[in-house]
Amino acid sequence: MNVRFLEAFVWVAKLGSFKAAADKLHTTQAGISSRIATLEEQFGVRLFERERRAITLTYQGSELMPYALRMIDLQSRMVAAVGQTEAFSGMLRIGAIETVVHTWLPDLLSRFVARYPKVTLELISDITPRLRDDLLRGSLDCALLSEEITPGFIENRRIATYAMRWATSPGLASQLPPGRLSFSDIARHPIISFHRESSVYRNIAQGAADCPDLRVSYFSSLAAMVDLTRSGFGIAPLPLAVIERDVLEGRLVLLDLAPTPSSLPLVASVRMDPASPVAEALVMMAREASEAFTARCQLPVLEA
């Protein structure tokens, strides 16, 4: 059975349109119709109900879908394992949160380009909720996030778990009481937090429930958070992997503030409808690049 025909079947079902599937697969609408007709002839059943305004799966089409996805995924893995990687071409659309961008992403992309020199990369750096939505919409092939996406046609793989620490500037640290701090000890200074949908913010909100005077400022940019923390604007929970050099060189001070921030998971999420062999390869290299970065920096990183 031709796997390209199964790809056409999957995309028609997902997009609800022969024309949209043809655009996605860079072929003609007639070509997609021919592939679907061949599949229906081979199976002896109708796979789609072709109504005036919508194309929907028949019962037999719904039964075929999980098998089609598995066959496409198996082919992708097989090609990635034994194929000539230098011959792969096309576009790979990647999303990454800033924690990845400011740590091991350059190493990851260098590894990838060395193995797949003909693949064009498109990178978007944004917060996890937006990258999640882009991946679910199909405008990304894979994304490096801080939270898993609800299982479905997305596969999640844990890359690492990074330690988080409270940090501030040396000047602001000198204004705080000695010893272990609580939110009441820092209430007159702003808290610099990730966006409201993040696990980091949820951790702060839970810990600050008994401290109504606490002021929290929200940012979608990790780089802006680090810059503001260095400047003495406030106190922030930050990934130790990102601020290690700032701490070693005295631009930032780590605080013993309770509660300790929850650790930050790093997750690679990949579309499986159909799976991309180069996206699979990128995920494998992501773990390698993360582990190499950790080894170089000797950071306290939790088990993935």
* Annotated domain spans of the chain: 3-82, 88-160+264-297, 164-255
Environment class of residue 198 by beta-carbon count within 10 Å: exposed (0-12), middle (13-18) or buried (19+)? buried
What per-residue confidence (pLDDT) applies to 79?
63
Of 75-79, 144-148, 291-295, the least confident: 75-79
Mean pLDDT over 39-51 rounds to: 91
**164-255 and 3-82 share a CATH fold:** no
Alpha-carbon distance of 277 to 288, in angstroms, equals 17
What per-residue confidence (pLDDT) applies to 121?
93
The better pLDDT of the pair 167, 148 is held by 167
What is the pLDDT of the chain when averaged over all its residues? 86
Is it the case that residue 296 has pLDDT exceeding 90?
no
Q: Give the contacts of 100 (CB within 8 A, at least 6 positions apart).
A: 144, 266
3-state secondary structure of 144: strand
Provide the edge-to-edge strand list for the sheet that holds 164-168: 236-239, 164-168, 253-255
Q: Give the contacts of 96 (CB within 8 A, at least 6 positions apart).
A: 105, 123, 124, 125, 131, 143, 144
Predicted confidence (pLDDT) per residue in 177-232, tens digit: 998 998 889 888 999 998 887 777 777 877 777 787 788 888 888 999 999 999 99
Given a contact cutoff of 8 angstroms between Cβ atoms, the answer to whether 66 and 6 are in contact is: no
Is it the case that residue 105 has pLDDT exceeding 90?
yes
Predicted confidence (pLDDT) per residue in 264-281, tens digit: 899 999 886 656 778 878
Within its chain, how far is the Cα of 223 from the centroid? 18
Return the CATH number of 164-255, one of 3.40.190.10, 3.40.50.1370, 3.40.50.970, 3.10.129.10.
3.40.190.10
Environment class of residue 36 by beta-carbon count within 10 Å: exposed (0-12), middle (13-18) or buried (19+)? buried
Widest CA span of the chain, in angstroms? 78
The better pLDDT of the pair 227, 139 is held by 227
What per-residue confidence (pLDDT) applies to 87?
59
Mean pLDDT over 27-50 rounds to: 89
Is it the case that residue 75 has pLDDT exceeding 90?
no
Is it the case that residue 92 has pLDDT exceeding 50?
yes
The better pLDDT of the pair 96, 205 is held by 96
% of residues, the chain, pLDDT over 90: 42
In the numeric block, which tokens belong to residue 191? 């808290």
Query: Could you check whether the bond before residue 177 is cis, i.e. omega within 30 degrees of 0?
Result: no
Given a contact cutoff of 8 angstroms between Cβ atoms, the answer to whether 104 and 239 are in contact is: no
Of 19-33, 115-129, 162-176, the least confident: 19-33
In the numeric block, which tokens belong to residue 218? 């929200």
Return the CATH number of 3-82, one of 1.10.3720.10, 1.10.10.10, 3.40.50.920, 1.10.645.10.
1.10.10.10
Predicted confidence (pLDDT) per residue in 151-162, tens digit: 667 888 888 888
Mean pLDDT over 111-119 rounds to: 90
Q: What is the CATH number of domain 88-160+264-297?
A: 3.40.190.10
What per-residue confidence (pLDDT) applies to 261?
86
Is it the case that residue 83 has pLDDT exceeding 70?
no
What per-residue confidence (pLDDT) applies to 88?
67
Is it the case that residue 138 has pLDDT exceeding 50?
yes
Helix residue ranges per DSSP H, the chain: 3-15, 18-24, 29-43, 59-82, 98-101, 105-115, 128-137, 170-173, 199-207, 222-231, 240-248, 277-297
Alpha-carbon distance of 298 to 139, in angstroms, equals 36
